[in-house]
Structure 1
């Protein structure tokens, strides 16, 4: 009995735990199944809900439309198309421009994008065109243009003058800013045209302008000296400035013009001739432009431009010279002297009279006169024939052994010269012969022996001074340059 009872209790004890586990499982199973059912219902409901509503983080053009349905979202987004104005302030007055409708907001479009979290609304196609047209229709006063910073000479020195802001409205910049702000929905579209005045393109701090000023300063302060046939001429700061523009570029034409003026001042061919005749009378004549020397202007210009543009701060230029630097403005060594009044010619060599001879000069008419003034021998020729026409239309053709044509004032080749005329031998010494048909067509007719001496001792460029007043009352007009000279 005891054993049976023991077994019975043992069996009973064994079954009780099994019933407890089964009970626990049932207890947990009910809530889990319920939770799953809830999740399923929520998920199903969510799917259904978000088919007509936007997601929690949804935005359209930055506007929060989360959990809104299409209709409510559309109503909220219409705020983007609310009536706004662009205000343009001009000299205390205001110009208003009503903004056109910017976005095309439709329920259909929102439905198509209801599942998106970031929606970009379509732009009204005519919006920008309308706005641009309205802005473009604005008119502003002409205003004063802005001035760029620039280099100018002030008190003799190059300086940078600062830029100046004018009052001309940069309409394009204003329009671009308005369009940009409206595109970004910035709001508060108020603009003062003063903020959109056209800006100078070059300011006083411009690097290029500073470099030009440095270059100008270097060039205008150069020490350039010209050695003109032994005379020293230092170019002044003002002269250097006159050669350049404000960018430091040297103008060769301006340099040449300066060299030309300098040449007239220093070149001996521009200086008057001082001459003392056999009668002891000293007279000043105009140089014919070929006696003496002058500056080679093209070469000097090039050397000067090169010196200004060089890196050297100091430079001396030896000026190239054309002509004979030994020819003095005072003629007292080698020359031919012709006295019209006495119908005489003298030849001096080394200051010593070598030849004195009678001559017959031009026929008594200003159109055939031997003209007074300073001349030079153009060239020398032998055994040639002189041909031409007299005032009466008659032709002449005269063979000569010696021929020395003259160059007159202004470089004029007169066709007048010195030559032999032995066929007039019996009339040499007759001071009135020039008034007869034995007078020449302007040439100085000379006995052969005398002209041979002059020919052999003379040279091209030798001075020939002609003086006298025998043609003062002659008929006609002089057809060659005449210079009676000035007493000294």
Structure 2
């Protein structure tokens, strides 16, 4: 009898279990298992639609608090920021995964869902911008970040000034912070959303620039000029150095150009009066002519900038423009052509020795030979002289065997086989149009001695 009772109880329990299991399966076919949470919201025993409504309601009731040093923020609601959550797809996925396990096992297991919730939340950028502007109006303007940059200090010299964060907010970063805070139900730390400087103190380019500037403190540029040395010192280099608002450095090209001007004032011979020890008159003063040199300020400015960029001490000659530079202040030297118009004589000196002495005919009154310190710039043999004769008021063409030009207005030395006599007062009645008429046999010798750049000294 006892056995029959036990069997009956067992059958009843089995039937009960099957019934409970069937009912539970039917119940949870469209409901979430017991102990299921979604975004920290308990959705146990709720349908998908009920769960979605509860999540939205819970989400809308949250309060968002902000923390920022020296600025006051009002607590905001999701509606203030246009915050919404789209959980339908995630809830549907959760329901489909639930069906893959036994409902009883699921009911006995906690099922929190917090993964990738940030992807389900959206925020209205325009509303967030409006909130930021309101905060700025209440608490004052924000400061932009400042990149690290080079700076000059009288006590420390050039150094790298550290970057500054500022208080300007990066909207996209703040948006991320707010969504994180919503998920974690935490306070928004606004300082974590500040715009960051793009250049920091350890930036390789900035460090390299500082190293280059510091190298300038130990470099010198020595210009050897006309037998002298002019040293561009580190102090001068520092005085040329410029830093812009971003800390980028450059050099003041105008100051370098002006410095080279002072060197030209001290050394250059172009357009200068000179004293010269002539053959017959002793010391005379020569007027300026084409002879002379100066520092090419444009070219040399760039050369100095290149030296500074290299960052190494250097000794060199500067870029020279003009005629007559020979490494000294004496651009006449010991080889030259001397034209004495007072005595109507020409002398040719080679290495200090007079190799030619000859009478000549210079310009007639009205077409006078213009005195000056000149230099040969063109030689032709044979040549054909052309021009206008103001005395005859006619164009002329005159062939010659030798032509040596020494200025840029048409003056030169050439043979003149039409001259009956040379020297004395011949120039008064039969003078040239400004050229130096020379006996043909002497002209052949002169042409062999002459060279481009040879000084031609013409004086009264």
TM interval, short-chain normalised? 0.5 to 0.7
- Aligned-residue offset at 1:296: 13
* Cα distance in 1, alignment partners of residues 347 and 425 from structure 2: 17
Query: Which among 410, 419, 424 is matched to residue 424 of structure 1?
Result: 419
Q: Distance in 1 between matches of 2:342 and 2:304?
A: 50
Instruction: Kindly report which structure 2 residues correspond to 1:417-456, keeping only aligned pairs within 5 A, or say none.
Output: 417-426=412-421, 428-430=423-425, 433-434=427-428, 438-448=430-440, 451=443, 454-455=446-447
Distance 2:47 2:387 in 1: 119
Shift of 1:389: 1.4
Write the distance in 2 (CA, Å) between the matches of 1:52 and 1:405: 112
Per-residue CA deviation, residues 2-43 of structure 1 (Å, 9 max, x unaligned), is: xxxxxxxxxxxxxxxxxxxxx664565455445445434543
Return closer, same or farther for 1:445/1:61 CA change in 2, 3 Å cut-off.
Answer: same
- Gapped regions of structure 1 (runs ≥ 5): 1-22, 408-412, 469-488
List aligned pairs for 1:70-469, cutoff 5 A.
Answer: 76-84=54-62, 92=72, 94=74, 98-100=80-82, 102-103=84-85, 113=95, 128=122, 131-137=124-130, 140=133, 144-155=143-154, 157-182=157-182, 184=183, 186=185, 192=190, 196-218=193-215, 220-222=217-219, 231-232=228-229, 234-238=231-235, 264=264, 270=270, 272=272, 273-277=274-278, 278-283=280-285, 285-286=287-288, 288-289=290-291, 305=306, 309=310, 325=326, 329=330, 331=332, 333-351=334-352, 357-365=358-366, 368-391=367-390, 393-407=393-407, 413-426=408-421, 428-430=423-425, 433-434=427-428, 438-448=430-440, 451=443, 454-455=446-447, 457-468=449-460
Helix, strand or coil at the partner of 1:364? coil
Q: For the Cα contact (< 8 Å) 2:223–2:231, is it kept in 1?
A: yes
Measured at CA, do residues 281 and 317 of structure 1 come closer, stay the same or move farther in structure 2, by a change above 3 Å?
A: closer
Alpha-carbon distance, 1:377 to partner:
2.6
RMSD (Å) for aligned C-alpha atoms: 5.3
> How far did 1:152 drift?
3.8
Label 1:204 to 1:357 Cα distance change in 2 as closer, same or farther (>3 A): same
The SS at the match of 2:409 is: strand
Distance 2:236 2:317 in 1: 18
The DSSP-based 3-state class of the residue aligned with 1:423 is coil
Structure 1 pair 71–261 and aligned structure 2 pair: CA distance change class (3 A):
closer
Does the 8 A contact of 2:286 with 2:458 survive in 1?
Answer: no
Structure 1 stretch displaced more, 209-218 or 240-249: 240-249
Mapped contact 2:373–2:455 kept (Cα < 8 A): yes
The alpha-carbon distance between structure 1 residues 466 and 314, as it changes in their structure 2 partners (threshold 3 A), is closer
- Cα displacement (A) at 1:77: 3.7
User: Which of these residues, 37, 48, 53, is aligned with residue 59 of structure 1?
Assistant: 37
Stretch of structure 1 that moved more, 368-377 or 154-163: 154-163
**Higher Cα Rg, which structure:** 1
Query: How far apart, CA to CA, are the structure 1 residues paired with 2:320 and 2:50?
Result: 99
Structure 2: how far apart are the matches of 1:398 and 1:338? 23
**What is the aligned length?**
425
Q: 1:401 to 1:160 in 2, by over 3 A?
A: same
Q: In structure 2, do the counterparts of structure 1 residues 103 and 299 end up closer, same or farther at CA, with 3 Å as the change threshold?
A: closer
Indicate if the aligned counterparts of 1:225 and 1:232 stay in contact, CA closer than 8 A. yes
Residues 171-217 of structure 1: CA deviation (Å, up to 9, x unaligned): 333234334444x26365x665x664432111223355334433443
Residue 287 of structure 1 and its aligned partner are, at CA, apart by 6.4
How far residue 463 of structure 1 moved from its aligned partner, in angstroms, is: 1.9
Distance 1:229 1:443, change over 3 A: closer
Unaligned 5+ segments in structure 2 are: 100-110
Q: For 1:98, what is the secondary structure of its paired residue?
A: helix
Task: Give 1:422 shift.
Answer: 4.6
SS state of the match for residue 125, structure 2?
A: helix
